[in-house]
Amino acid sequence: MRLLNLFPILYFLAVIESRAQSIDQTANTVEKRFIPPTGFQRVASPANTYAHFLRQLPLKPWGTEVRYFDGNIKPNDAIYVSVIDLPIGKRDLHQCADAVMRLRAAYLYHQKKFDEIHFNFLADGKPRYFKTFAKSDFSYTRFWKYMEYVFASANTRSLHDELRAVELSQMQIGDVFIQKGVPFGHAVVVIDMAENPKTGQKVYLLAQSYMPAQELQILQNKNNPSLSPWYELKNQTIYTPEWTFKPADLRRF
């Protein structure tokens, strides 16, 4: 009887130990903090690729709480495991789809691929180009003004229609789970992946912003605490802490 009563406690301790072994709390980037599960290796991401950029995203110190645009703290009810260290501005604009667009645009901006920075507006479905908006001023200040211009006029609906559908089995780092929704949808982005070379099984990490505007956060996997924050790539419903996605919701820039 005593062994039976101790089982839940021992199981809980095993989960905590497993997670502790897969997270380096002193590290300050996605790649360094989140160690792939035993038997898994990160998929290749050559330098200068979007995948490499996402892996190098800076993280705030372990235990930092997510802040909204107004400085208030978002309670962490087993939602997120780390906070991405990027400014989000002082307006209620940097929400879910905005964060996805911001990451993609930031990568292109740092690569100086200014011609490729563009997003469709909801009103007419047509793209607005950073290069046109910049008027030869490619400073980061001008870039951020462009992003807020986009945030104010694009959303999950416009971004969903702009992206192309991808089979779940073909997932890559940088892909997006996105739903239009009524009255609103949601979007999360794949920021890292790893694979078991023996079995071919893959796992991935997800990041999101949400409403009201808030800092990007790396999501926990509440349905598999022993694997969290990694998610197993399976052709089934994806349960994130604040939204539920279907395999058909995966799309790509």
- The pLDDT, as a whole number, for residue 21 is 55
Tokens at 165, concatenated: 């559908």
Q: Which residue has the tokens 């919701």?
A: 249
For residue 42, the cross-strand partners are 194
Return the SS3 of 161.
Answer: helix
3-class secondary structure, 53: helix
Residues 6+ apart with CB under 8 A from 5: none
Per-residue pLDDT of the chain (253 residues; tens, 9 = 90+): 444 454 343 333 444 444 545 899 999 999 999 999 999 999 999 999 999 999 999 999 999 999 999 999 999 999 999 999 999 999 999 999 999 999 999 999 999 999 999 999 999 999 999 999 999 999 999 999 999 999 999 999 999 999 999 999 999 999 999 999 878 899 999 999 999 999 999 999 999 999 999 999 999 999 999 999 999 999 999 999 999 999 999 999 9
Helices (H), the chain: 2-21, 30-33, 50-55, 96-110, 130-134, 140-151, 156-162
Number of Cβ atoms within 10 Å of the Cβ of 195: 19
What burial class does residue 197 get, using C-beta atoms within 10 Å of its C-beta: 0-12 exposed, 13-18 middle, 19+ buried? exposed
**Residue 60, SS3?**
coil
Residue 121 carries which side chain, given as an amino acid letter?
F
- Name which of 169, 157, 99, 78 is nearest 124 in CA terms: 157
Q: Give the pairing type, strands 231-232 and 202-208.
A: antiparallel
